[in-house]
Amino acid sequence: MPELWGRTYSQAELMRRVGRLDQVAWVREVTLNDGQGRGVRILEFRTGSGFAFDVLVDRAFDVGRCEYEGRALNWTSSVGVVAPAFYENDAWGWFRAWGGGMVVTCGLDHTMNGARDTAAQFHQPHMFESVDYGLHGRVGGLPARLLGYGETWDGDECILWAEGEVRQVSVFGETLILRRRIETRVGASHFTLHDEVRNAGYSRTSHMVLYHCNVGFPLVDGGSELLIPSAGTTTDPWSSVEGYRTLTEPQADFQEACFYEAVQAEASGQVPVAVVNRRLGLGLYQVFDRRQLPEFMVWRMMGEGAYAVALEPGTNRAVPRSELRSTGQLIELEPGERRTYDLELGVLRGDTAIDGFQERVARVSAVAAQVPRPDPK
């Protein structure tokens, strides 16, 4: 049953007190009508607990703004929401349309820096023999087809949900279909994301996905901490892993860096990570399945005006595409083949919740015999 304001309510008890459910919680469709975001459809989720988030239907069905009791959890960049019509899909155009947001999907056939690779698998030698891939791929700039949304009672639980489909397709190229369901509940302070990616074409197609989950102020601040169950950390050559899990105040001329974690999983395969601000008594947690997403990276940017960290589980190591291909690590989906991915993000409210999650992370870190890193197929 939903827990609201310190009390649980059955469906009958709650509905006796309101004329419509949206007095308490809702999923509502709105459309932006100005600036570069003009025309973008948004689904506003409000759970009644103080937890709220927006699904950007026309930006890959990603999650944009996310807040708890009026305080932002996600990072919002200086760019803001950008409609697909204004998306610059060149090598570095992703930066001109990256508005931040709680979940930004990268893929579906490429992540990381721009690259060029063979197009021989698409059997069109007259037109092109290679494909150019921009930073983090194409999917993030594509609009979704809205399949449905709403509030559904299941006994005394009320599910708030939305489903969408994103098509990354080309004549004589890839035909990759992302079907996404985002779900929460009345009274909850978290949401789940379930993705299915399918090769709906008739040619073998490369596949990658990375979830760029961006956390910002006030959760990110001087003294905030990263909680990660890891067996080891490496970083970019210009940075250092020493002390990186404690965040600093904004710094002038700061140079971003990525940190690559050998994350450890619970027996179920789940990996719990978090950003916590003990001064506020607030945290944002993420849980993903290492069998689906075996790699994990932290993007750390402590610069002025671009002050954020990102929790980034993904399918592949952050190395050049050519290296993945040459070492046999490039995922290729056969026609009709599909993969699924699950992600949960939510709030840690108060010292008890933060301490409990920290203990969960510590238990994973302390296990001597870790679950093997399986094939993510």
112-141 mean pLDDT: 88
| Alpha carbons 214 and 225: distance in angstroms, whole number | 15
Listed by start position, the domains of the chain span 3-366
pTM for the whole thing?
A: 0.95
**CB 324: neighbour CB atoms within 10 A?**
19
CATH architecture of the region 3-366 = Distorted Sandwich (2.70)
On the 0-12 / 13-18 / 19+ scale of CB atoms within 10 A, 50 is middle
Q: Is the pLDDT of residue 169 over 60?
A: yes
pLDDT digits (tens, 9 = 90+) for 312-326: 999 999 999 999 999
Give the H or E element holding residue 11.
helix 11-15
| Alpha carbons 115 and 120: distance in angstroms, whole number | 16
Strand order in the sheet with 104-108: 104-108, 208-216, 306-314, 295-303, 257-263, 230-235
Looking up tokens 């860096």, which residue turns up? 257
User: What is residue 184's predicted lDDT score, i.e. its pLDDT?
Assistant: 98
pLDDT digits (tens, 9 = 90+) for 237-264: 999 999 999 999 999 999 999 999 999 9
pLDDT digits (tens, 9 = 90+) for 72-101: 999 999 999 999 988 887 778 899 999 999
Looking up tokens 């301490």, which residue turns up? 355
14: three-class secondary structure by DSSP: helix
